[in-house]
Structure 1
Amino acid sequence: MATYKKRGYKPKKEKVVEQEVEETFDESQSATAEVFNTLDETANKSEEWIEKNSKPLFYGLVTVAALILAYLAYTKFIAEPTEKEASNELAYPRALFDEARTAAGVKADSLYNLAIAGGVDGKYGFADISSSFSGTKAGNLANYYAGVSYLEMKKYKEAIEYLSKFDSDDELLGPTALGAIGDAFADIDQLQDALDYYEQAANKKANDFTTPLFLFKAGQTAMALKEYGKAEELFTKIKDNYAETDQGRDIEKYINSAKYAK
């Protein structure tokens, strides 16, 4: 038998779907309301906290600003002028040091002493600059030049003292200063200390000049200490990495000497 739908008739299934959509929408509205309520509560708590701590926050910001301004003022009006003054003072003993390097004997020692002590027309020497401008680059360099000056005059204790105060990441100066300490210890027959500093110098900054030089000195010192295995290892590093340098050209014979001395 044929059936027909009355006008305005809707299936029950559509009513269920509409009801589910309405329920979902209501739930979504409820969830949204909860989120906004939570945000309102958080905002209110934040406002309360800020109001409660407004004075500490203000004083904290003022303190930070004051520290920044103090640092900028220190750099501009104290650090930079002091650095410039120290650099100007360093020029006088540096000139004496350079002159001493080309002289010999008593004249050289006299120039080195004058470079360290200063005193002529109130001019500072390396020692004065080291102590008076200790926090500056020039003060740091003064330690290096004073140490090398003492080393040239064979005053090894003083050389070690000043060179130990020098610190630099420069590719040549850093390793050279450590190697100079090694030389000072070697000259007073403290070979273990010399070996330690030669190795530090070799490892400070890898380059084709200082690294093979101090590896070689370390190897020779290890031979003198009868640490033949270590000597072979040090000489082999030169062969493997610096074969084209002055130290690398004849390194095979030193490797063999260490190898057969075991």
Structure 2
Amino acid sequence: MSPIIFNQNMATYKKKYKPEGKKEQQQVEEMESTTAEVFNTLDETASKSEQWIEKNSKLLFTSLVAIVVIFLGYLAYSTYVVAPNELEASNELAFPRKYFDEASTAGSGIDSLLTLGLEGADGKYGFIDIAKVYSGTDAGNLANYYAGVSYLQMKQYDKAIEYLGKFDSDDEMLGPVALGAMGDAFADINQPKDALEYYTKAANKRDNNLTTPLFLYKAAQTAMELKEFSKAASLFTKIKENYASSEQGRDIEKFINAAKYAAE
């Protein structure tokens, strides 16, 4: 805003109000002085802003161009690199999953099927290679899950923990199941404290009537093993109060009583 406009504002202000008496005249003069100072300050600020913009216009334009270039680069990367890579990884995952699914229903030879799924065959990637080559994709992340569960079934617990630890998902089922599988692996290598930690995480990951009571129950049983009876009673009670209709909710009262009795 220019000084001319400020002066017009001051003139308008003077016309609108005519003071009566010296006291009021003094008050008006003080108000006019304050208003003038405000207008002058605003004028100086506006001038300085204009000068700064004028002085840094080249820098501002360069920054704007850089932002646009970055955005367009990200868009191009997502469209022409990430999306095709994601599709390719998803297609690769179909081969080892076939063996993983066969192993889940096979009566024998399970380890050989799981190994084919892990290592691949006939020039096709297995879960291990997909997790490595397509790291950062959804399919690569999922390959870590399948690899971890495969190693768990083969009783190679350290590798199971390694791959399951790389998997991350907020999926209603896979998220809790992966954490619960880590709990199983720690339980099988006789590390109950770690098992309890992961069973608890699995129970809290998602709230549903399938995985939550299952892992609450496993956590409670592990707490009993660790002689943390009060914690066990609390976990069993949570099943009774919130998941009474689940499979774990059946006869839960006897487990609560056993934990409470042991805690006394």
Provide TM-score, normalisation by structure 1: 0.86
Question: Which of 47, 58, 64 is equivalent to 2:67?
Answer: 64
Question: Which of 82, 95, 118 is equivalent to 2:120?
Answer: 118
Which deviates further from its counterpart, 176-185 or 50-59? 50-59
Rg larger for: 1
Match of 2:169 in 1: 168
Identity score, percent: 65
Question: Would you say 1:79 and 2:48 are equivalent positions?
Answer: no
Shift of 1:34: 5.8
Shift of 1:20: 9.9
Shift of 1:164: 0.6
Question: Which of 49, 74, 77 is equivalent to 1:46?
Answer: 49
Match of 1:200 in 2: 201
Which deviates further from its counterpart, 40-49 or 109-118? 40-49
What whole-Å deviation, never above 9, does each CA across 1:70-123 have from its counterpart, x for those lacking one? 1111111111111111111111111211111110332x2111100110032x11
Shift of 1:42: 2.8
Structure 2 CA distance for aligned equivalents of residues 145 and 139 of structure 1: 10
Which deviates further from its counterpart, 36-45 or 196-205? 36-45
Counterpart mapping for 1:146-165 below 5 A: 146-165=147-166
Shift of 1:30: 7.3
What whole-Å deviation, never above 9, does each CA across 1:19-59 have from its counterpart, x for those lacking one? 99999999888777665544443332222111111121111
Relative to structure 1, is the Cα distance of residues 145 and 23 closer, same or farther in structure 2, using a 3 angstrom cutoff?
A: same
Q: Which amino acid aligns with 1:261?
A: A
Structure 2 CA distance for aligned equivalents of residues 250 and 176 of structure 1: 24
Question: Would you say 1:218 and 2:211 are equivalent positions?
Answer: no
Shift of 1:201: 0.6
Provide TM-score, normalisation by structure 2: 0.85
Q: Which runs of 5+ in 1 are unaligned?
A: 1-14
Q: Contact 2:19–2:25 at 8 Å: present in 1 too?
A: no
Structure 2 CA distance for aligned equivalents of residues 115 and 147 of structure 1: 11
Structure 2 CA distance for aligned equivalents of residues 38 and 231 of structure 1: 69
Match of 2:10 in 1: none
Q: Which amino acid aligns with 2:135?
A: S
How many residues are aligned here?
246
Structure 2 CA distance for aligned equivalents of residues 194 and 21 of structure 1: 82
Match of 1:10 in 2: none
What whole-Å deviation, never above 9, does each CA across 1:213-245 have from its counterpart, x for those lacking one? 001011111112222222111111111111111
Superposition RMSD in Å: 2.3
Structure 2 CA distance for aligned equivalents of residues 86 and 241 of structure 1: 40
